[in-house]
Copies of this chain bind each other. A is one copy, B any other.
């Protein structure tokens, strides 16, 4: 027996297509969806990732403005740039790319991203709005997990879902999204001790701890659907998740691969969030753009 592989590529393609249609519709009404990515690092892999967003955006008809402030940018400069972009009408989405220069407090900077442009859910206000059910962008990774489960018609309402990891970027916002979908949600983390008592009875286990080999075959049953959010780079440069694929795939019902799982969907969602942000802002400023269609669940 081998777990069903829940690839993110089909869904990512659908989402990119939706973003492209949206961008085209907005463009024909004089609104060019635009995302700004603020970068302040020399890290090669970060620049590679930002360029991949830029290429994907361009293919979808979305303008991507990379604001490279260099690895020695000060907090003051970063703050001023985020304030300017938040105020600039032609920019609809803002991403503050990590890592930031040492000594710069990301905490205080993310609060400067206008909530309606916060397409990667970095501002604590976005998280708070998600918690109380007000409109807000979730971090794209957290939404990617929910969209993947919907796409493969994995039920979550009334189901036992365990999230391993309590970060502000994945674990916490994901638990809020899952609660809103009527799942019973357990958040485990590095201080939880043995995970088996929580993960084995679970219908769905999402692993977002940033630790290679954290989830093994002994943590799951033949009924478990496993979503792997981990992205760990091995010394040889290859990318692996938090799941020990060899042992888990022999036991679990289904498993998202790394790469080609959650990550693919995440980038596509950043594009869709940009068009959603552009649409809302166009409407606020008097636009008459038709409503966004939801991503079709289970299609493709």
Contacts and interface: CB of A to CB of B under 8 A. Distances in A.
A168 B188 CA distance: 21
Nearest to A108: B134
Given A124-B128, A126-B128, A185 B187 contact: yes
A15 interface: no
B166 A179 contact: yes
Copies in the complex: 2
A189 interface: yes
A137 interface: no
A186 interface: yes
Given A124-B131, A127-B128, A132-B124, A189 B179 contact: yes
Contacts of A187: 175, 179, 184-186
Nearest to A127: B128
A88 interface: no
Nearest to A184: B192
B172 A198 contact: no
A191 B182 contact: yes
- SS class, residues of chain A in contact with chain B: mixed
Count chain B CB atoms within 10 A of each CB in A107, A128, A179, A187 and give the residue with the most: A128
Nearest to A125: B125
Nearest to A188: B184
A173 B176 CA distance: 11
Contacts of A179: 166, 172, 187, 189
Interface of A: 107, 123-129, 131-134, 157-158, 160, 166, 168, 172-173, 175-176, 179, 182, 184-189, 191-193, 197-198, 201
16 contacts: A107-B132, A124-B134, A125-B125, A128-B129, A131-B172, A132-B172, A133-B168, A157-B191, A158-B193, A172-B176, A175-B175, A179-B187, A184-B186, A184-B198, A185-B186, A186-B186
Given A184-B193, A185-B186, 10 more contacts: A125-B128, A126-B128, A127-B127, A131-B172, A131-B173, A132-B168, A160-B197, A172-B176, A184-B192, A197-B201
